[in-house]
């Protein structure tokens, strides 16, 4: 049975057993090499924590800082580096789709675009509707016009068989 490697936990305050340690102050200035007890007293005097930042060095390097704030910033930095995976969402309409129904679809597409996803607008033609491609073009132009404040046209409207498709990307 394989075990996962243990996450390296930083030692703080009384968990630091090695003496002497090299101490860095809260402003980043070198305070020199001192005993662990002395470094702890210095940290407590400024109401901060003594955190071991380089345990493998000889003597180990410890820094006086607010550990809670440090952990928060580390977590925030890690969360920020997690990139949004762009998805492609689709809204489908027909040439005879009513204005209110188009508004509902446009509002949904607006949500997708604000969430940094791409939107594919598809007009589907059925039966004799293929004779009125200009009506489908009007519907696509109407949707693009309503979304122009939050999107840019990535692929112009193109006719593919029974579909007319155009792609919008977030601004």
Q: Which of 15-29, 56-70, 75-89 has the lowest mean pLDDT?
A: 75-89
Task: For the chain, give every residue range classified as CATH 3.10.20.80.
Answer: 13-79
Residue 91: closest CA among 69, 63, 123: 123
Residue 110 makes CB contacts below 8 A (sequence gap 6+) with 147, 150
The token pair that represents 69 in the structure block: 């704030």
**Cβ–Cβ under 8 Å, residues 153 and 144:** yes
d(CA 70, CA 5): 23
Average pLDDT for 70-98: 87
Max Cα-Cα span within the chain: 89
The token pair that represents 23 in the structure block: 């101490």
Within 10 angstroms of residue 129's Cβ, the number of other Cβ atoms is 16
Predicted local distance difference test score (pLDDT) of residue 7:
52
Q: Which CATH number fits domain 88-170: 3.30.110.10, 2.60.40.3950, 2.40.30.10, 3.40.50.80?
A: 3.30.110.10
Domain boundaries 13-79, corresponding CATH code: 3.10.20.80
Task: Report which of residues 65 and 1 the model is more confident about.
Answer: 65
- The H or E element containing residue 123 is strand 118-124
Predicted local distance difference test score (pLDDT) of residue 64:
93
**3-class state of residue 115 by DSSP:** coil
Predicted local distance difference test score (pLDDT) of residue 23:
93
Give the pLDDT band (50/70/90) at residue 10: confident
pLDDT cut 90: percent of the chain above it: 61
In this model, does residue 1 exceed pLDDT 70?
A: no
Give the pLDDT band (50/70/90) at residue 8: low
Predicted local distance difference test score (pLDDT) of residue 80:
76
Average pLDDT for 105-132: 95
Task: For the chain, give every residue range classified as CATH 3.30.110.10.
Answer: 88-170
Give the pLDDT band (50/70/90) at residue 98: very high
Give the pLDDT band (50/70/90) at residue 4: very low
């Amino acid at each position: 049975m394989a075990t996962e490697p243990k996450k390296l936990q930083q030692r703080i305050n009384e968990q630091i057993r090695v003496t002497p340690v090299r101490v860095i102050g809260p402003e980043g200035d070198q305070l020199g090499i001192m005993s662990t007890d002395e470094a702890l007293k210095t940290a407590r005097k400024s109401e901060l924590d003594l955190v071991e930042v380089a345990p493998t060095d000889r003597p180990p390097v410890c820094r006086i800082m607010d550990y809670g704030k440090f952990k928060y910033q580390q977590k925030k930095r890690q969360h920020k580096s997690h990139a949004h995976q762009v998805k492609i969402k689709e809204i489908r309409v027909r040439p005879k789709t009513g204005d209110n129904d188009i508004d509902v679809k446009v509002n949904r597409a607006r949500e997708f675009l604000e969430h940094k996803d791409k939107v594919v607008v598809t007009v589907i033609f059925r039966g004799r509707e293929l004779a009125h491609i200009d009506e489908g073009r009007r519907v696509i132009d109407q949707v693009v016009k309503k979304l122009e404040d939050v999107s840019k046209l990535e692929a112009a409207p193109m006719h593919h068989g029974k579909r007319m498709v155009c792609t919008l990307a977030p601004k």
